[in-house]
């Protein structure tokens, strides 16, 4: 049985006091949403402060990125050890903004995913097609290539542990949400692909989140799909009310 999860990707938003207020607001009311794993992923400079706000609550801390090396001369980068040190349990890896704006490749994502798992953290590995790729009928091939590249060399046990997020790039921050049928088709394919490459038990345990303009008013129908195990939420995770409303919809799914 896969536990439903709702993760908030705050991206490069908020300031220190707004991040603390949002984290505190979510932590104070997290009990209301019941059996849903809640994760907040603030900007890295605010991880430590947010960790203090959510301490003792059921909200877990996640990072938006990591570097694959354990330490050393890598100016500006942050290691898994540092993320563990401030209380992280999850790391978003390969978000489309990092792939398409900052040039991350599947090989980069793969190195990061290995490093995250080796540190006993849970990666949330993002995959998703561009609008031009969808329109050219390449969605399945793009997802397959990203999954094979990003997850290369992992064991079946590791596959069972990690979280995959399907985030069609054309739906991120655009208000254009995938229909439940569009999302479901890719989620079903993703689980099938993992089953073929690893085994049915591991593939059946992997949590696959949907991300892309998830809001309180569209969350329920997306999360009702059998292979959608939760949501990775950007814009709507920046307000306590909307984040918790999505989590409440996830609980009912
Ligand atoms: C995201 O950045 O992962 C995301 C899904 O953003 P939004 O919900 O704003 O589309």
DSSP code string of 28-84:
HHGGGG-S-EEEEE--GGGHHHHHHHHTTSSEEEEES---SSSSSS-TT---HHHHH
Instruction: List the residue whose alpha carbon is closest to atom 7 of ligand 1.
Output: 234
User: Which position has the token pair 């990072």?
Assistant: 63
Angle between helices 216-223 and 240-252 (to 10 degrees): 20
State residue 1's pLDDT score. 80
Q: Provide mean pLDDT across the span 86-106.
A: 98
* Closest-lying ligand 1 atom to the alpha carbon of residue 235: 9
**180-197 helix and 216-223 helix, angle to the nearest 10 degrees:** 50
Average pLDDT over residues 29-41: 96
Is the pLDDT score of 16 beyond 90? yes
pLDDT at 155 exceeding the cut of 90: yes
Band of pLDDT at residue 89, cut at 50, 70 and 90: very high
CA of 71 to the centre of ligand 1 (A): 30
Tokens at 175, concatenated: 């208000």
CA distance 202 to 162: 10
pLDDT (mean) for 223-236: 97
**CA of residue 2 to ligand 1 center, whole Å:** 22
> Counting atoms of ligand 1 from 1, which one is nearest the CA of 211?
5
The answer on pLDDT for 61 being more than 90 is yes
Nearest CA owner, ligand 1 atom 6: 234
Decide: 151 and 119 in contact? Cβ < 8 Å.
no
Over residues 127-146, the mean pLDDT reads 97
Examine the pLDDT at 253 and tell me if it is beyond 90: no
How much is the pLDDT for 78? 98
- Distance (Å, whole) CA 119 – CA 114: 9
Q: How far is the CA of 31 from the centre of ligand 1 (A)?
A: 24
Distance between Cα 72 and ligand 1 center (Å): 32
Strands annotated E in 134-179? 163-166
The predicted model gives 125-147 an average pLDDT of 97
What residues line ligand 1, using a CB cutoff of 6 Å?
A: 9, 167, 172-173, 211-214, 232-236
| Closest CA to ligand 1's atom 4 | 234
The whole-chain average pLDDT of the chain stands at: 97
pLDDT for position 45: 98
111-121: b or e for each residue (b if 16 or more CB lie within 10 Å)? bbbbbbbebeb
To test the pocket of ligand 1, the residue of 124, 164, 169, 173 to mutate (highest count of ligand atoms within 8 Å of its CB) is 173
HSE-CB at 18 with a 13 A cutoff on CA atoms is 10
Integer CA distances (angstroms), 117 to 83, 93, 150, 203, in order: 12, 11, 13, 17
Residue positions annotated with a catalytic role: 95, 167
Residue 211 Cα to ligand 1 midpoint, Å, equals 6
pLDDT band at 150 (very low <50, low <70, confident <90, very high): very high
Averaged pLDDT for residues 178-199: 97
pLDDT of residue 184: 98
Best residue among 11, 166, 212, 247 to mutate for probing ligand 1, ranked by most atoms within 8 Å of CB: 212
Burial bucket for residue 228 (CB in 10 Å: 0-12, 13-18, 19+): buried
Q: What pLDDT does 252 receive?
A: 87
Residues 6+ apart with CB under 8 A from 140: 186, 189
């Amino acid at each position: 049985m896969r536990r439903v999860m709702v993760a908030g990707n705050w991206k490069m938003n908020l300031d220190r006091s707004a991040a603390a207020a949002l984290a505190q607001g979510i932590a104070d009311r997290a009990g209301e949403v019941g059996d849903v794993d809640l994760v907040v992923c603030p900007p890295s400079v605010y991880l430590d402060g947010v960790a203090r706000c959510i301490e003792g609550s059921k909200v877990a801390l996640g990072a938006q990125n990591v570097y694959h090396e354990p330490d050393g001369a890598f100016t500006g980068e942050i290691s898994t050890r540092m993320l563990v040190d401030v209380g992280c349990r999850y790391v978003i890896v390969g978000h489309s903004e990092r792939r398409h704006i900052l040039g991350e490749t599947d090989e980069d994502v793969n190195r990061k995913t290995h490093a995250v798992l080796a540190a006993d953290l849970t990666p949330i590995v993002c995959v998703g097609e561009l609008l031009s790729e969808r329109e050219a009928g390449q969605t399945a091939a793009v997802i397959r290539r990203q999954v094979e590249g990003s997850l290369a060399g992992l064991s079946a046990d590791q596959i069972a542990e990690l979280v995959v997020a399907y985030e069609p790039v054309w739906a991120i921050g655009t208000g254009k949400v995938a229909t439940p049928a569009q999302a479901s088709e890719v989620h079903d394919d993703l689980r099938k692909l993992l089953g073929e490459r690893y085994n049915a038990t591991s593939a059946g345990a992997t949590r696959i989140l949907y991300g892309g303009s998830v809001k309180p008013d569209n969350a329920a129908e997306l999360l009702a799909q059998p292979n959608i195990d939760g949501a990775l939420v950007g814009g709507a995770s920046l307000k306590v009310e909307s984040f918790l409303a999505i989590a409440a919809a996830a609980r009912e799914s």
